[in-house]
């Protein structure tokens, strides 16, 4: 038994956060709050995809995200997703109940974020992931309680990231089908009903939808997708690794039913926002090939 535990520990130590050669960090927007950097980047990229002409039909996009600290500790890691519907210029059909219509430049849109966390996480940002001897290996040994879950906004999620001074990863925007948008709305409604609780280690609860973590809140619930990680346990599948795994699932399922309307490269498509205590460039955790600095 001790030999098995030692072997598993060795494997665990060999699994690290996404590797990447350290590159220069862009400080041109250093004094711009992280939320403003991210939202402007999304809007500008979506507008570039739409082009200058009129939009004759609604179009849909997803923006997957992750954040993590230098140690890739699960307590400081998160996976979340924004979904956008760009309304046609000619006037759209039925709007999505509960979603506010917004505008940016000459476009109107609906948007929402799936960011699943304990309901009081803004006031009590201390996440219980593994507690008790053997909890990482044996799900029944984990003493972490179930929590009432809450779907957080993008603004509140970014506020949490800034508070922990973590590296934030963004992919996309990727264009999706209307069916994919509808699935996203369905997932948002399911979480908002309050019947599913939150638990970071959801190995005992995900299948019956008793409690799920942030990773599974944006992944599929209808089918249990291979979790990845050591021996397929899902170990180390959090932060950037976690959202990467979700995108792999999306790609696989799009082969059965077109949901993603364009190719995804889970490594090359990453763009990062990294915390920098000052403009010197020292003390930065940067797992990205391309990143912007933030400090507020």
Token digits for 227?
Answer: 């979790």
User: Mean pLDDT for the chain?
Assistant: 86
The pLDDT tens digits for 124-183 are 988 999 999 988 889 899 999 999 999 999 999 999 999 999 999 999 999 999 999 999
Q: Calculate the dihedral angle through the C-alpha atoms of 183, 221, 78, 34, rounding to the nearest 10 degrees.
A: 0
Question: pTM score > 0.85 for this model?
Answer: yes
114's enclosing H/E stretch is: strand 107-114
Return the pLDDT at 38: 97
The pLDDT tens digits for 70-108 are 999 999 999 999 999 999 987 657 899 999 999 888 899
- Least reliable range by pLDDT among 13-17, 43-47, 55-59: 13-17
Domain residue ranges in the chain: 38-280+290-294
Paired residues of 168 in beta bridges:
67, 273
Give me the mean pLDDT over the 221-246 stretch. Answer: 67
Looking up tokens 């609780």 gives: 197
Return the pLDDT at 196: 94
Contacts of 78 (CB under 8 A, 6+ apart): 66, 67, 68, 115, 117, 157, 160, 161, 214, 238, 239
């Amino acid at each position: 038994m001790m030999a098995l535990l030692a072997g598993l520990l060795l494997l665990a130590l060999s699994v690290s956060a996404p590797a990447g050669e350290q590159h220069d960090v862009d400080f041109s927007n250093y004094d711009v709050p992280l939320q403003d950097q991210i939202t402007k980047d999304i809007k500008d990229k979506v507008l570039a995809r739409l082009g200058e002409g009129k939009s004759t039909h609604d179009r849909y996009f997803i923006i997957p995200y992750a954040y993590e600290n230098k140690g890739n500790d699960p307590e400081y890691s998160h996976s979340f997703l924004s979904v956008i519907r760009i309304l046609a210029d000619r006037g759209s059909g039925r709007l999505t109940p509960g979603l506010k219509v917004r505008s940016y430049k000459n476009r109107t849109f609906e948007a929402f974020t799936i960011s699943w966390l304990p309901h009081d996480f803004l006031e009590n940002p201390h996440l219980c992931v593994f507690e008790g001897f053997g909890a990482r290996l044996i799900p029944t040994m984990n003493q972490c309680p179930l929590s009432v879950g809450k779907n957080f906004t993008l603004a509140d999620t970014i506020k949490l990231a800034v508070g922990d001074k973590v590296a934030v990863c963004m992919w996309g925007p990727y264009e999706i089908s209307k069916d994919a948008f509808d699935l996203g709305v369905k997932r948002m409604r399911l979480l908002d009903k309050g019947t599913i609780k939150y638990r970071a280690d959801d190995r005992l609860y995900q299948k019956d939808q008793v409690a799920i973590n942030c990773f599974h809140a944006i992944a599929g619930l209808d089918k249990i997708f291979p979790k990845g990680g050591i021996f397929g346990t899902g170990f180390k599948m959090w932060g950037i690794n976690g959202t990467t795994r979700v995108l792999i699932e999306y790609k696989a399922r799009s082969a059965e039913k077109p949901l993603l309307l364009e190719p995804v490269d889970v490594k090359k498509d990453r763009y990062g926002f990294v915390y920098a205590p000052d403009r010197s460039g020292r003390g930065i955790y940067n797992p990205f090939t391309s990143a912007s600095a933030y400090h507020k």
